[in-house]
Amino acid sequence: MKVIGIALSDEYTDISLYKEEYTYRFPTLLSREKKEDLFYIGEDAYKKNLDGNVFLVDKLLSLFKKKGSATFSERRYEAGELLGIFLESLLLEGERRVAGRDIPEEEGKDVLVLSIRDVDVELLHRLHALLKEKFSPRYELTLISHAESFLHYILRQDKKFYNRQVGMLEFSSQILYYYEAQVSKGAKKYAVSVSEAQPDALSFGILEDPRGRKMTDQVLSGMIDRIVKGKVYSAFFLAGKGFENTELFPEFMKKLLHGRRVLVESFLFSIGALYYGQLLGKGEEEEYLLLCDTRVNSDIVIRVSEKEREFPLYLAYAGDSFLKEGEDIHLLLDKQDYIDFQVQDVRTQGKGKQYRMNLTTFPKRERRCTKVALRTVFSGKDSLLVEVTDMGLGELWEGSFQSIKETIPLGGKE
């Protein structure tokens, strides 16, 4: 079983192979020789650029988001092609670094899990398509957010680290993100994670100067005062390249350490992705339902009957990834021109909310003579797009193939 966890961002990309000790960091950039189609990544790309014999492109994720391109020697490369070359080279370099080292031998599927910070539905679907193009069928592929990766990471720690609220601060170049997680203690076993960008932007460049380090320390100290006020944590984590050396921020660390258990793991997101991949490789899932920015909070159900027996048909379960591909479900309408959807947030008590989708514009037919195809697509974790298409029934009742689309809210708002 080969398992790889990757945390991708504009500034740098972390890769964890097989086990957490084999984790490496590369600047997210790519260079190409001016006279041939030969590419370099990370620090090697920087070194080659100093010689002046290569073209260099950085911020590959942003370029991919913008659907941009770059031109080298009159050859135009789309952003997806460049990012794909970077990721393929990243895996090759990672494998080169672990060659000859102690690799755990376990039975299971080969899995690649990629984690990114920003949860944009279109971006995630495009990234997933790129991963399939480059790495399928060699690997089972999964895309998660940093908030989800945080959950996978803390659930591998001793329970004393998550018996209450868990906090985390990520410090990357120009990025400060606060994450919070809570693991339920009741009968419903779920783990919730949320994240929020902080307004303070700090560049790694100013850390080279004593005055810049002092200013950064002051900014971090003021921010932590604001974040932790009135909160009790079982543990507080620090992640990202900015916290590789916490001695640079003495005042911040003094405040954070006061009455708290603080743990530093600069590579937390790629290791969290690796941990999840290890589960998937064995065909397992987390013990807890995960509720975060890439997972659905609610069960979504319709009532159907078969052989006069009524039962719930689940269109989605709480904890499902919203990237999950939907499938057509075929139903026969029985004396009704509507479909009722029951939405039950797993974190709340009661019967949940009911939404009715009217199908009154479909052709009128006799009982059980209208077959419909129902398709669902998540447009994020808080809304579900439902499309119902009239299929008719056989040759006698020709389908109009008219479709009705409606969006069902899942985030607690009508």
Q: Does residue 414 register a pLDDT over 50?
A: no
d(CA 238, CA 223): 14
Average pLDDT over residues 63-70: 96
d(CA 228, CA 180): 11
The separation between CA 50 and the C-alpha centre of its own chain, rounded to angstroms, equals: 35
CATH (residue range 298-409): 2.60.34
The per-residue pLDDT for 350 is 77
Q: Does residue 341 register a pLDDT over 60?
A: yes
- Nearest of 31, 35, 75 to residue 49 by alpha carbon: 31
Distances, alpha carbon 92 to alpha carbons 88, 99, 262, 366, in Å:
6, 11, 34, 62
The yes or no reply on domain 148-271 and CATH 2.40.50 is no
d(CA 91, CA 97): 10
The per-residue pLDDT for 216 is 93
Q: Does residue 63 register a pLDDT over 80?
A: yes
CATH 3.30.420.40 range(s) for the chain read 3-142
pLDDT band, residue 148 (cuts 50/70/90): very high
Q: What's the pLDDT tens digit per position in 212-262? A: 999 999 999 999 999 999 999 999 999 999 999 999 999 999 999 999 999
Average pLDDT over residues 271-294: 96
Query: Which of the pair, 298 or 201, is modelled with greater confidence?
Result: 298
d(CA 326, CA 316): 9
- Nearest of 216, 228, 250 to residue 179 by alpha carbon: 228
CATH 2.60.34 range(s) for the chain read 298-409
Pair 302, 339: CB distance under 8 Å: yes
Q: Does residue 121 register a pLDDT over 70?
A: yes
Highest mean pLDDT among 99-108, 118-127, 226-235, 268-277: 268-277
The yes or no reply on domain 3-142 and CATH 3.30.420.40 is yes
The per-residue pLDDT for 343 is 95
Q: Does residue 364 register a pLDDT over 70?
A: yes
d(CA 104, CA 305): 49
Give the residue ranges of DSSP H helices in 193-329: 210-228, 250-257, 268-281
Cα of first residue to Cα of last residue in the chain, in angstroms, is 45
Give the residue ranges of DSSP H helices in 229-315: 250-257, 268-281
Average pLDDT over residues 355-363: 95
Q: What share of the chain has pLDDT > 70, as a percent?
A: 99
Task: Please write down the long-range contacts of 61-68, taking CB distance under 8 Å and 24 or more positions apart.
Answer: 61/8, 61/9, 61/10, 61/28, 61/116, 62/10, 64/123, 64/126, 64/127, 64/130, 65/120, 65/123
Q: What's the pLDDT tens digit per position in 303-324? A: 999 888 999 999 999 999 988 8
Q: What's the pLDDT tens digit per position in 159-215? A: 999 999 999 999 987 789 999 999 987 778 899 999 998 887 677 878 888 999 999
Question: For the chain, what is the mean pLDDT?
Answer: 92
- Which of left, alpha, beta for 283 (phi over 0: left; psi -120 to 50: alpha)? left
Cβ atoms < 10 Å from Cβ of 355: 17
Sign of the torsion angle spanned by Cα atoms 33, 39, 44, 49: positive
The per-residue pLDDT for 244 is 92
Q: Does residue 91 register a pLDDT over 90?
A: yes
Instruction: Tell whether pTM > 0.85.
Output: yes
Stretch among 58-62, 87-91, 195-199, 253-257 having the lowest mean pLDDT? 195-199
Residue 46: exposed, middle, or buried by beta-carbon count in 10 A (0-12, 13-18, 19+)? Answer: middle
